[in-house]
Amino acid sequence: MGSESYWLDTAPAFTGAQVGGLPDQVDVAIVGGGFTGLAAARALALKGARVAVLEAGRVNGQASGRNGGQCNTGVAQDYAALSASLGADKARAYYLAYESAVQSVVSLVEQEGIACDLTRHGKLKLAAKPMHYEGLARTCELIRKEVDAEVQLLSAQQVRAEVNSDQFHGGLLQRNGVQMHVGRFGVGLAEAAARHGALIFQGVEVKDWKTRGSGYQVNTNKGVLHASQILLATGACQQGGLGWYRRRIVPVGSFVVATEVLPQALIDSLLPARRSYVTSRMIGNYFRLTPDNRLLFGGRARFAMSDSVSDAKSGKVLQATMVQMFPQLADVKIDYCWGGLVDMTSDRLPRAGQHGGIYHSMGYSGHGVQMSVHMGQVMADVMAGKVEANPWRELDWPAIPGHFGKPWFLPFVGAYYRLQDYLH
C-alpha cells in the first residue's frame, strides 16, 4: 500500500518552476502554490501584473493534490439548513457561487487545453438511513423551488441501479458536477500560470511579512522579496506567521484509499453511472472511479491530523468501510493510502477578503476543488478593485473560542458526530 497521493503519484512533473533566486520586487506575492494561488497567479499575470508564487513544498502538494477529486455544485451545509439560518436570498447566492465555481474549472481546462480527463457525471448524495431520505426529499423540494430545477430525488430502487450496495435508501442527484484527475489538472494550471508570466517558486517558506513604504517586505527562507500586494492562499497550512488565520480555521484530517485497477465488468456492475458519490452521515464517505478504473474511497475515518501513522490507521478503517458497503471488493488490493488537511471554518463557508491590508481566500471546508479555482480568479478581480466580485465579502470571521491553531478538541468532535450518526 503506497503512502503517496494517487493524484500526485500519477501526475506529470511540473517543468515551469523558477530555479534562480527571488526577484527584488513584484506587484503581487502569493503565499501558497495550490489551486487558489495558481489560479490567482494566472489571472493576475493575464492582467499584466508581475506575480511571484511562493510555495513551501511542491505545487499542489497539499490539499489541492491530496483530496477526493469531488468537483460539484452544492454548499458544504445542507441547503435547507442554510436557507433557514441565512435566508433564501443568501442561500441561493451561495449555491450559485458553487455552481459558478464548477464552470470556472471547466472554462479554465478548455481555455488552457489541460489534459486532465475531464468528464461530467454529476454528484449523487446517498441516504444512509430512511430518515435521511426524508431530509433529502425536503432539501430537494426547496432547491428545486428556490435555485436549481435540475436536481432530482432518486428512490432506493433507482439508487440501487446506480450503486450496487444494499446500504442506501434513496439519493439526491445534482447534475452540475465534473470529474477530473486533480493531479494532472494542478500541474496543467501551474504550467499555464508560468506560461502567462507568473514566477512560481517551490521550496520557499514564507516566515513573515511587514509593511514597507506603500507595500510589504516578505521574509522567506530563501531571502527577501518586496510586493505591492500579498494574497494568502494557505488553507490549513501549519507553517509561518499565520496565527490570526489559524484561530479561525480548524485543520481536520481527511483520508483516502485507492484500489488496484478494477476489471471493467466489476466496474459496470458496481458503479455504472460513474458519478461522484457522498453519503449522508455526519462521519460519511465519498467515492468515485478514477480515470484508470480504480475505486477512490475517502472520508474522515478518524478525527485526527494527517501523518504517516494516522494515514495508515485511517486507511484500514476506510478499507473496512468500503468492503462493508461493497462486499464484492473483499479481495481487492489497496494500492494507495494517503491523508491531507481540510481547512474547516465554524460555519463551513469560505472566507475571502482582507485582514490588515493582506488579502486571503481559504476555508473551503471540503469543497475546495472547485471553489479554490474559482476564488483564485475572483481574488485577482478583487485585488484590481472589484470588491463586489467576492461572494463571501459580507461574512464576518470571528475566532473560534478556545482554538489557538492546534485542534485539541478533534477527538471530542468525533465522539459527538458518532453519537449523532447513531441517534439520527
pLDDT at 416: 66
pLDDT at 76: 60
Q: Please count the other Cβ atoms lying within 10 Å of the Cβ belonging to residue 363.
A: 29
pLDDT at 1: 63
Task: Give the largest CA-CA distance in the chain.
Answer: 66
* Interhelix angle 182-195/88-112, nearest 10 degrees: 70
pLDDT at 408: 80
pLDDT at 117: 97
Alpha helices by DSSP H, listed for 206-337, are 243-246, 264-270, 308-325
> CA 254 to CA 300: how far, in whole Å?
5
Burial class from Cβ neighbours inside 10 Å (0-12, 13-18, 19+) for residue 403 reads middle
pLDDT at 78: 81
Helix, strand or coil for residue 340? strand
pLDDT at 423: 73
pLDDT at 420: 75
Q: Please count the other Cβ atoms lying within 10 Å of the Cβ belonging to residue 295.
A: 23
375-403 pLDDT, tens digit per residue, is 999 999 999 999 999 999 999 999 999 99
From 158, 362, 111, select the one nearest 242 (Cα to Cα).
362
pTM for this model (two decimals)? 0.95
Cβ neighbors of 298 (< 8 A, separation 6 or more) are 68, 254, 255, 256, 257, 285, 286, 287, 318
pLDDT at 187: 98
> CA 355 to CA 362: how far, in whole Å?
13
> CA 310 to CA 328: how far, in whole Å?
27
Give pLDDT < 70 ranges for the chain: 1-2, 76-77, 301, 303, 414, 416-417
